[in-house]
Amino acid sequence: MPPITTPKDRLRLAVQKSGRLSTDSLDLLKHCGIRVKSPKERLLLHADNFPIDVLFVRDDDIPQLVMDGVCDLGIVGTNVLEEAALERRTTGAAGGYAVERPLDFGGCRLALALPEERPYSGLRDLQGLRIATSYPRLTGRFLAEQNIQAQVVYLSGSVEIAPRLGIADVICDLVASGSTLEANKLRAVETIFKSTAVLLRNSREFTAEKRHALEILLRRIDGVQRAAEAKYIMLHAPKANLAAIKQLLPGSENPTILPLAGDETRVALHAVCQEAVFWETMESLKQAGATSILVLPIEKMML
Ligand code: PRT
Ligand code: ZN
């Protein structure tokens, strides 16, 4: 039976309703064992097995909701967070927030990109140009730091077509794979900000119940993120090569060594590897005499 809590004892978490961070945000909650139904029908959903309510909103609203204390927590990209924080600083309305955890999704970079045919030899070439972006404050800060005078043209979307429309000379936009730039005959020349999704919190003191729930949530997030990278590896190894084979296992401590029935010269080795196990590692293990190499995913991990 889940503990009975009043709303003031429940954490309120803002996540993106529909977009690039939505699925990963909900998957993270799911992997943390928190049951929330699909956001299709409702804006605010109560988890039925954890004292948390999830509010589904546009990602741009998440920093404000957390800074103003409407939500205790939020999952948002640092690009959106930092842009909002800069805006708040200029209007003097800065609310307290803290980044609790970087999350392992939503990775991208904010980059300056030019039409392919435009020559570029360095930042000085941007002097006096028009730069289209949805991130005017991050872009403006970068230009100020670099002492470059350029005109920032704000566009809420479709920034990549601005040079073709003649609205701007260059753009400053988010890039992940780079295929959007390529399709629009643009090339990235400078990364001005690296972004990832984060778990954000309002920095006011929480009630004891909320503090406790947050502690559990963070512990579970750490467990999920650790498990995502970690692998369980099993192999057979010649006893003589054991030391060399252990050296090859990324981030593993104290592997379990088990005898192999009817084989005096070889043993079975089981180990948790904290880092990704790549094909190259497996090939090196094979060269060191390992056989029957199995690499298995780990679902949860608590140290
Ligand atoms: O409706 P709402 O306001 O909630 O969503 P949105 O349309 O503003 O945001 P959305 O869903 O597009 O992105 C949400 C967040 O995902 C961003 O704020 C980033 O933190 C993160 N993210 C990660 C990205 C990308 N990768 C990304 N590639 N956001 C946008 N893009 C764009 C990029 O600008 C380009 O136009 O996707 C396009 C494809 O990128 P390439 O380089 O892979 O071709
Ligand atoms: Zn948005």
Q: Which domains, ranges and CATH numbers included, belong to the chain? A: 7-105+197-227 (3.40.190.10), 108-195 (3.40.190.10), 230-297 (3.30.70.120)
CA dist 92 and 104 (Å) reads: 32
For residue 179, give the ligand 1 atom closest to its CA. Answer: 44
Give the chain's largest Cα–Cα span: 78
User: Average pLDDT in the 180-196 region?
Assistant: 97
77 pocket-lining for ligand 1 (C-beta < 6 Å): yes
**Tens digits of per-residue pLDDT, 195-241?**
999 999 999 999 999 999 999 999 999 999 988 888 899 999 999 99
* Mean pLDDT of the residues in the chain: 93
What are the pLDDT digits (tens) for 76-90?
A: 999 999 999 999 887
- Residue 135 CA, ligand 2 centroid: distance in Å: 11
Going by C-alpha positions, the residue among 296, 297, 233, 231 that lies closest to residue 268 is: 233
**Residue 91: which residues within 8 A CB-CB, separation 6 or more?**
none
The ligand 1 atom nearest the CA atom of 22: 11
Ligand 1: atom nearest CA of 159 is 36
Q: How far apart are the first and last CA of the chain?
A: 27
Instruction: Round to whole Å and give the CA distance between 254 and 154.
Output: 55
Which ligand is nearest to the Cα of residue 188, counting in written order?
A: 1
Task: Name the pTM for this structure.
Answer: 0.89
Using CA atoms, how far residue 255 sits from 223, 234, 259, 261, 291, in Å, is 20, 10, 13, 19, 16
Our answer on whether the CB atom of 164 is closer than 6 Å to any ligand 1 atom is no
DSSP 8-state secondary structure symbol assigned to residue 185? T
**pLDDT tens-digit series, residues 222-234:** 999 988 888 899 9
pLDDT at residue 174, rounded to an integer: 98
Whole-number pLDDT of residue 2: 52
How far apart CA 248 and CA 118 sit, in angstroms, is 47
177 Cβ below 6 A of ligand 1: yes
Rounded to whole angstroms, the Cα distance separating 235 from 242 reads 11
| Confidence (pLDDT) at 40 | 63
Mean pLDDT over 93-119 rounds to: 93
> Residue 268: which of 238, 235, 303, 232 has the closest Cα?
235
pLDDT at residue 302, as a whole number: 80
Atom 2 of ligand 1: nearest residue by CA position:
58
Nearest CA to ligand 1 atom 1: 58
* Residue whose token pair is 């028009």: 130
The rounded Å distance from CA 25 to ligand 2 centre is 15
| CA–centroid distance, residue 19 to ligand 1 (Å) | 8
Question: How far away, in angstroms, is 279 Cα from ligand 2 center?
Answer: 38
* Ligand 1 lined by 180 (C-beta under 6 Å): yes
Contact at 8 Å (CB) between 111 and 57?
Answer: no
Q: Which atom of ligand 1 is nearest to the CA of 160?
A: 36
Q: Is the CB of 79 under 6 A from ligand 1?
A: yes
Q: Ligand 1: which of 16, 59, 158 to mutate, most ligand atoms within 8 Å of CB? A: 59
Residue 125: how many other CB atoms lie within 10 Å: 15
pLDDT band at 124 (very low <50, low <70, confident <90, very high): very high
> Which residue CA neighbors atom 16 of ligand 1 most closely?
20
Cβ neighbours of residue 1 closer than 8 Å, sequence gap 6 or more: none
22-59 confidence digits (pLDDT tens): 999 999 999 999 998 766 667 999 999 999 999 999 99
